[in-house]
Amino acid sequence: MTERARLASLDPLKLGEIDLHRVAEAMHALMREGDKYPQKMARRDAIRRKCIDCSGGKIAEVRHCEAIACPLWPFRLGSNPYRVRRND
Protein backbone atom coordinates (compact mmCIF):
# COMPACT_ATOMS: atom_id res chain seq x y z
CA MET A 1 0.00 0.00 0.00
CA THR A 2 1.37 3.40 -0.94
CA GLU A 3 1.71 6.16 1.63
CA ARG A 4 -0.99 8.18 -0.11
CA ALA A 5 -3.41 5.24 0.00
CA ARG A 6 -2.60 4.54 3.64
CA LEU A 7 -3.24 8.15 4.66
CA ALA A 8 -6.44 8.33 2.61
CA SER A 9 -7.77 5.17 4.27
CA LEU A 10 -7.60 6.59 7.81
CA ASP A 11 -10.95 7.30 9.43
CA PRO A 12 -11.08 11.02 10.26
CA LEU A 13 -13.70 10.39 12.95
CA LYS A 14 -11.22 8.28 14.92
CA LEU A 15 -8.35 10.78 14.67
CA GLY A 16 -7.75 13.61 17.08
CA GLU A 17 -7.49 17.17 15.81
CA ILE A 18 -3.68 17.21 15.88
CA ASP A 19 -3.44 13.89 14.04
CA LEU A 20 -5.98 15.07 11.48
CA HIS A 21 -3.88 18.17 10.74
CA ARG A 22 -0.75 16.01 10.39
CA VAL A 23 -2.50 13.70 7.93
CA ALA A 24 -3.77 16.67 5.91
CA GLU A 25 -0.28 18.18 5.75
CA ALA A 26 1.22 14.85 4.71
CA MET A 27 -1.39 14.38 1.96
CA HIS A 28 -0.74 17.89 0.62
CA ALA A 29 3.01 17.21 0.61
CA LEU A 30 2.50 13.95 -1.29
CA MET A 31 0.25 15.65 -3.84
CA ARG A 32 2.84 18.40 -4.42
CA GLU A 33 5.59 15.81 -4.92
CA GLY A 34 3.65 13.88 -7.52
CA ASP A 35 2.46 16.96 -9.45
CA LYS A 36 -0.64 14.95 -10.36
CA TYR A 37 -2.92 17.69 -9.14
CA PRO A 38 -2.84 21.24 -10.49
CA GLN A 39 -1.92 23.96 -8.03
CA LYS A 40 -4.95 26.01 -8.97
CA MET A 41 -8.05 25.04 -10.87
CA ALA A 42 -10.87 27.18 -12.11
CA ARG A 43 -14.19 26.59 -10.38
CA ARG A 44 -15.76 25.66 -13.73
CA ASP A 45 -13.09 23.00 -14.35
CA ALA A 46 -13.45 21.56 -10.84
CA ILE A 47 -17.22 21.24 -11.27
CA ARG A 48 -16.76 19.66 -14.70
CA ARG A 49 -14.28 17.10 -13.33
CA LYS A 50 -16.63 16.23 -10.47
CA CYS A 51 -19.52 15.73 -12.90
CA ILE A 52 -17.41 13.49 -15.14
CA ASP A 53 -16.31 11.51 -12.09
CA CYS A 54 -19.91 11.15 -10.92
CA SER A 55 -20.92 9.95 -14.41
CA GLY A 56 -18.45 7.09 -14.29
CA GLY A 57 -15.84 8.90 -16.38
CA LYS A 58 -18.14 9.14 -19.40
CA ILE A 59 -18.17 12.70 -20.72
CA ALA A 60 -21.33 12.18 -22.79
CA GLU A 61 -23.25 11.12 -19.68
CA VAL A 62 -22.73 14.53 -18.07
CA ARG A 63 -25.07 16.13 -20.61
CA HIS A 64 -27.74 13.48 -19.89
CA CYS A 65 -27.40 13.70 -16.09
CA GLU A 66 -30.72 13.24 -14.30
CA ALA A 67 -29.51 14.17 -10.81
CA ILE A 68 -31.32 17.51 -10.85
CA ALA A 69 -31.29 17.68 -7.05
CA CYS A 70 -27.48 17.98 -7.17
CA PRO A 71 -26.36 21.56 -6.45
CA LEU A 72 -23.84 21.31 -9.30
CA TRP A 73 -26.39 20.19 -11.89
CA PRO A 74 -27.02 23.64 -13.45
CA PHE A 75 -23.25 24.14 -13.86
CA ARG A 76 -22.40 20.70 -15.27
CA LEU A 77 -21.93 21.89 -18.86
CA GLY A 78 -19.25 24.41 -17.94
CA SER A 79 -21.23 27.62 -17.74
CA ASN A 80 -23.10 29.61 -15.13
CA PRO A 81 -26.76 29.76 -16.12
CA TYR A 82 -27.44 32.48 -13.53
CA ARG A 83 -24.87 34.89 -14.91
CA VAL A 84 -26.41 38.03 -16.36
CA ARG A 85 -24.83 38.99 -19.66
CA ARG A 86 -24.29 42.64 -20.36
CA ASN A 87 -25.51 44.04 -23.66
CA ASP A 88 -23.06 46.70 -24.76
The confidence score (pLDDT) of residue 57 equals: 87
The confidence score (pLDDT) of residue 70 equals: 92
List phi, psi (to 5°) of 61. -70, -20
b/e burial code for range 26-43 (CB count within 10 A of at least 16 → b): eeeebeeeeeeeeeeeee
The confidence score (pLDDT) of residue 33 equals: 64
List phi, psi (to 5°) of 6. -65, -45
Say whether pLDDT at 83 is over 60: yes
The confidence score (pLDDT) of residue 24 equals: 78
User: Distance between CA 15 and CA 71 in Å, rounded?
Assistant: 30
Tens digit of each residue's pLDDT (9 = 90 or more) over 14-68? 777 887 788 778 777 776 666 555 567 788 888 888 888 888 888 889 999 999 8
Say whether pLDDT at 85 is over 80: no
More confident site: 39 or 71: 71
Domain coordinates of the chain in residue numbers? 3-34, 43-75
